[in-house]
Structure 1
Amino acid sequence: MMPDRPAPLQHLPQMTFDQMLEKVRYDGAYPTRERAEEAVRLVLSGLGRQLTGDERVELAARLPLEAARLLTEQIPDTEPLTGWAFVKDLAARTGTTVAVTRWDTGSVLATVAALAGPELLTRILHQLPSGYALLFGRAELTQAA
């Protein structure tokens, strides 16, 4: 008797880096592809400093190769940042406003969420400190005290 095999994961077909940039450009209403690429590079590098373990590996496998490199070339921080601190850190690194950086983060992470799929995204959000769900386009549900 053969052991039961798990069902294959269902997620979006692999997209190219160019397709990812176009999706971010369209969803984020960026005027140029270059501006969308700046946002993707900033946010994925930042996420790479926050995410560890199996979730990091699985997410990288679902991203276009160039996007996966941006994520995995970063050494994770020893103290992960909350969602708000993540946005403030990215803004400080680029010298842009927190509002612009928040927009960039949401535009990129919405595409990342679609590529990850709901099950992996839930695991990623359980790993990260509070404040990331909204950045990925999900409601942040907390338990009452």
Structure 2
Amino acid sequence: MALRREAFLDHVKERGEYGTVEEAERATRVVLALLGAHLVGEVRAQLAARLPEDFALILLNPLQSAEPLSPERFVRATAAWIEGATEQTAAWDVSAALSTVADTAGDDLLKEILLQLPAGYDLLFGRPQPI
């Protein structure tokens, strides 16, 4: 069951300590657009099914990435897409959005998502995995 858009954005806003829902939405859109380029097949479809509809569409029609970005480069790319962002604020944006995605996905799907991503993304999702 997909989380309602308002509830999803409220979580992101709270975690990112944003002043407005618009700021939370902007961060979420950029992060999902970048994340979507890294996920394929059933895993991407399953995650999309759990997201609010407009965010699902962003995930399914992502910004193209020539290669999987390391977590550091993912944060840098996020900074590049958000006006006025620094790497520090982008790390915050990524964490707020992806930890909410992790909650929405659930543990089993998150494990599948992490298998498609370069090492270190567990930290971006706020779910450090035992080594």
3-state DSSP of counterpart to 1:133: helix
Counterparts of residues 50-129 of structure 1 (less than 5 Å): 50-74=38-62, 76-95=64-83, 96-129=85-118
Structure-1 separation of matches of 2:26 and 2:68: 23
Give the alignment partner of residue 40 of structure 1, picking from 15, 24, 28. Answer: 28
How many angstroms apart in 2 are the aligned matches of 1:140 and 1:97? Answer: 27
Contact 1:47/1:71 (CA < 8 Å) preserved in 2? yes
CA contact (8 A) 1:25 1:32 kept: yes
Answer whether contact 2:18 2:24 (CA < 8 A) is retained: yes
Aligned length: 130
User: Please, which runs of 5 or more residues in structure 1 have no aligned partner?
Assistant: 1-12
Q: Note if contact 1:131-1:140 (Cα within 8 Å) is conserved in structure 2.
A: no
Residue deviations 1:107-131 (CA, integer Å, cap 9, x gap): 0011100111100101110110112
Using the aligned pairs only, state the percent identity.
42
TM-score (norm 2): 0.91
What per-residue deviation string (whole Å, max 9, x for no partner) do you get for residues 18-73 of structure 1?
22111111122111111111111111111112111211111001111111011111
Matched residue SS, 1:134: helix
Q: Distance in 1 between matches of 2:90 and 2:18?
A: 13
Q: Which structure: greater helix fraction?
A: 2
RMSD: 1.5
Contact 1:83 1:129 in 2 (8 A): yes
Q: Which residue of 2 aligns with 1:22?
A: 10
Distance 1:76 1:89 in 2: 12
Greater Rg, structure 1 or structure 2?
A: 1
Structure 1 residue identity aligned to 2:29: R
